[in-house]
Amino acid sequence: MTDNKSGVLVVVEVEDSQPIDLGLEMLALARRLTGIMGGTVTAVAFGTGLETTGETLTAYGADQVLLNDNEIFTNFHAEAWLPDLSKIITEVEPALVLIGHSESGTDLAPRLAFRLDVDVATGCESIDIVNGRPHMTRSCFGGLAREVITFTKTPALATIRSKSQQALVPDMKRSAEIKHVSSILDVNAIRTRVVNRDREKAVGVQMESAKVVIGGGLGLGGPEGFKTLNEIAELVDGAVGASRAACDLDWCPRSYQIGLSGRTVAPELYIAVGISGASHHMAGCGNSKTIVSVNSDPKAEIFKSSRFGIVGNSQEIMPALAEEIRKLKA
């Protein structure tokens, strides 16, 4: 590196005053990278009710925590985040900035990069340090390929895919400098106005943290198929997701979508039902520990990633599987 920038700054999203898992996963990555290239790990969190956030982020690996506790940050709004975040990054001078590849992060990171006149690698799965420079590996071509890229300007920005990293075991004995920063935001400068927000109340187990996720696709044959998947999910304490095709047909809520433009899951077990395994779907579930799939097409791509496969009609197999699991659990 030709400049004095060092260390890694992690932008941690906060939900209901708690850092989200992806933020903690990125702290583990930041620790590993600073272990190689030197520098410290700075965690930055915007939100409200951040009384215990500093301690949590310290335990998960931060050396320095900057908290911007302000009501204007209760809900994410890219334009509100940008002035403060730009200022913090300019002052901290990190070599690398990590942002979650989440709904908010994908909206925020490109704007931030252009505002800082640097570059961003979105949807990174891993980062390595080669000759002191971050080499960022990301999925492209709808999940069919991977590219490894580096930037000539610093800091490099990267958005990190959920579940691509593993959070550290929290160490309550770690200590860090926890600072509160005050916002420089001029609310009159915000040009986009949120006039209405309509979120579905999340029910059941959250997909991202579930040990078992069952995904349904076109092979389910209709919305009724999801009922059986929900039954099985309840039996195994899992969550239900879907392919884009199933969501596009309104067979299930849009929030079920797993894949490139949907959610990313990496459970212990992913059961793919009537899902062909198109690369844009695999981009959202390819990191699952074990995949089991049911598909009527023996040549379906999904079987190449599966530990167990069943070639058959999911409308017959799944009710039977629900029954068998119920017996096992009884």
User: Could you say which residues in the range 48-107 bind another protein, by CB under 8 A?
Assistant: 79, 103, 106-107
Residue partners of 309: CB distance under 8 A and separation at least 6: 292, 293, 294, 295, 302, 303
290 binds another protein (CB under 8 A): yes
Name the segment binding another protein (CB under 8 A); options: 162-170, 172-180, 221-229, 307-315. 307-315
- Rounded to a whole number of angstroms, the minimum distance from the CB of residue 179 to another protein is 28
Name the segment binding another protein (CB under 8 A); options: 15-23, 46-54, 174-182, 198-206. 198-206
Name the segment binding another protein (CB under 8 A); options: 24-32, 43-51, 83-91, 191-199. 191-199
Q: What is the dihedral of CA 318, 319, 320, 324, to 10 degrees?
A: 100
The first and second tokens of residue 59, run together, are 């335990």
The first and second tokens of residue 281, run together, are 């779907």
Which residue is associated with the tokens 């992913």? 270
What is the 3-state secondary structure of 65-81? EEEEECHHHCCCCHHHH
The first and second tokens of residue 108, run together, are 């925020």
- Rounded to a whole number of angstroms, the minimum distance from the CB of residue 295 to another protein is 11
Residues 253-272 that bind another protein (CB under 8 A): 254-255, 260-263, 268-269
Q: In the complex with another protein, which residue's Cβ is closer, 58 or 315?
A: 315
Cα(100)–Cα(188) distance, integer angstroms: 27
Single out the residue of 60, 219, 86, 277 nearest to residue 68, CA to CA.
Answer: 86
Give the per-residue contact string, 216-255, with another protein (x = CB under 8 A; - = no): --------------------x-------x---x-----xx
Which residue is associated with the tokens 């941690």? 12
Q: Which of 16, 91, 186, 200 binds another protein (CB under 8 A)?
A: 200
The first and second tokens of residue 223, run together, are 């919305």
Please provide the distance, in angstroms rounded to a whole number, between the alpha carbons at the two ends of the chain.
Answer: 61
Question: Taking a C-beta distance cutoff of 8 angstroms, is the pair 216, 246 a contact?
Answer: yes
- Rounded to a whole number of angstroms, the minimum distance from the CB of residue 61 to another protein is 26
Specify the amino acid at residue 81.
Answer: W
Residues 98-157 that bind another protein (CB under 8 A): 103, 106-107, 110-111, 113-115, 119-120, 122-123, 130, 135, 138-153
Q: Is 156 helix (H, G, I), strand (E, B) or coil?
A: strand
- Rounded to a whole number of angstroms, the minimum distance from the CB of residue 38 to another protein is 21
Q: Which of 99, 212, 229, 285 binds another protein (CB under 8 A)?
A: 212
Residue partners of 244: CB distance under 8 A and separation at least 6: 257, 259, 261, 262, 280, 281
Q: In the complex with another protein, which residue's Cβ is closer, 65 or 163?
A: 163
21 binds another protein (CB under 8 A): no
Cα(323)–Cα(330) distance, integer angstroms: 11
Binders of another protein: how many residues, by CB under 8 A? 81
- Rounded to a whole number of angstroms, the minimum distance from the CB of residue 144 to another protein is 5
DSSP state of 299: T
Name the segment binding another protein (CB under 8 A); options: 5-13, 38-46, 64-72, 186-194. 186-194
Cα(217)–Cα(234) distance, integer angstroms: 19
Q: In the complex with another protein, which residue's Cβ is closer, 63 or 125?
A: 125
Q: In the complex with another protein, which residue's Cβ is closer, 16 or 200?
A: 200
Q: In the complex with another protein, which residue's Cβ is closer, 60 or 76?
A: 76
Q: In the complex with another protein, which residue's Cβ is closer, 37 or 65?
A: 37
304 binds another protein (CB under 8 A): yes
- Rounded to a whole number of angstroms, the minimum distance from the CB of residue 264 to another protein is 11
